[in-house]
Every structure is written in C-alpha cells, then in structure tokens.
C-alpha cells in the first residue's frame, strides 16, 4: 500500500531559525512528490518534485528529492511567524488520480 510518512509531527522554533521537514514515501511507480502549506484553511501548493526536477527553491523555502532513498526534505531558512502552519507532503499512487497525504508537520514559529 502506498504510504507517506512525515517527521517530525510537530516543531516549535524561534524566528530566524532554519528548519528541515522530512517526508519519506513508499509508492509503486513514482511520478511526483508534492509539498503543501496549510494555514487556517485550504492547503496551498508549494512545490512539485519529479524525476526531472529534484530540487526546487522559492525565496526562503527549498526542497529536494532523493529518489534512491525515497525521501524529500523541505527547508525553511530565516523562519518568520508567518511560516507557522501545517506542512503536508503527498504523492500520487500508481493508479488513480488522487494524492496520498502524510500526516503533516505542525510548525510553530515563535517571535
């Protein structure tokens, strides 16, 4: 069965710290891995990593994919209170047009 495991489950840091969120996956026929950020309401898309795009960066956020070891990390540098959210990792399974989500990492950035 396709599986996504995220760690840590929750994290509290101070503004300015750098954080690394982890996502490991087991899926037959890997196609992509996605990161979402969920603040109070809807999850919003951050990055999609594929075999042809294993590293993505947007401002203070960056993500890499290790297809051999079956994991991805999401890095946030110089964290701000606005980074406080749940970060979700997801993969599409071999069959079916859907995403399988991990349980998420709850990040809290204290000022």
Partner 1 sequence: DTAVSQTPKYLVTQMGNDKSIKCEQNLGHDTMYWYKQDSKKFLKIMFSYNNKELIINETVPNRFSPKSPDKAHLNLHINSLELGDSAVYFCASSHYGAYGELFFGEGSRLTVL
- Determine the 3-state secondary structure of 81 from DSSP: helix
Total residues contacting partner 1 (rule CB under 8 A)?
Answer: 23
Determine if 97 is a binding residue for partner 1 (CB under 8 A).
yes
With b meaning 16 or more CB within 10 Å and e meaning fewer, what string describes 74-105? bebeebeeebbbbbbbbbbbeeeeebbebebb
Determine if 65 is a binding residue for partner 1 (CB under 8 A).
no
CB atoms within 10 A of CB 28: 9
Contact with partner 1 (CB under 8 A) among 19, 76, 88, 109: 88
Determine if 100 is a binding residue for partner 1 (CB under 8 A).
yes
In terms of CB distance, is 21 or 92 closer to partner 1? 92
- Taking the CA atoms of the chain, what radius of gyration do you get in angstroms? 14
Determine if 71 is a binding residue for partner 1 (CB under 8 A).
no
Q: Which residues make up the interface to partner 1 (CB under 8 A)?
A: 31-32, 34, 38, 41-45, 48, 86, 88, 90, 92, 96-101, 103-104, 106
């Amino acid at each position: 069965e396709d599986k996504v495991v995220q760690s840590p489950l929750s994290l509290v840091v101070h503004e300015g710290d750098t954080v690394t969120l982890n996502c490991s996956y087991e899926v037959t026929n890997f196609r992509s891995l996605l990161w979402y950020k969920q603040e109070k309401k809807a999850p919003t898309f951050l990055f999609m990593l594929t075999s042809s795009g294993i590293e993505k960066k947007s401002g203070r956020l960056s993500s890499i994919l290790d297809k051999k070891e079956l994991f991805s990390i999401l890095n946030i540098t110089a964290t701000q209170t606005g980074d406080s959210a749940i970060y979700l990792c997801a993969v599409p399974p071999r069959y079916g047009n859907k995403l399988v989500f991990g349980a998420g990492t709850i990040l809290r950035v204290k000022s």
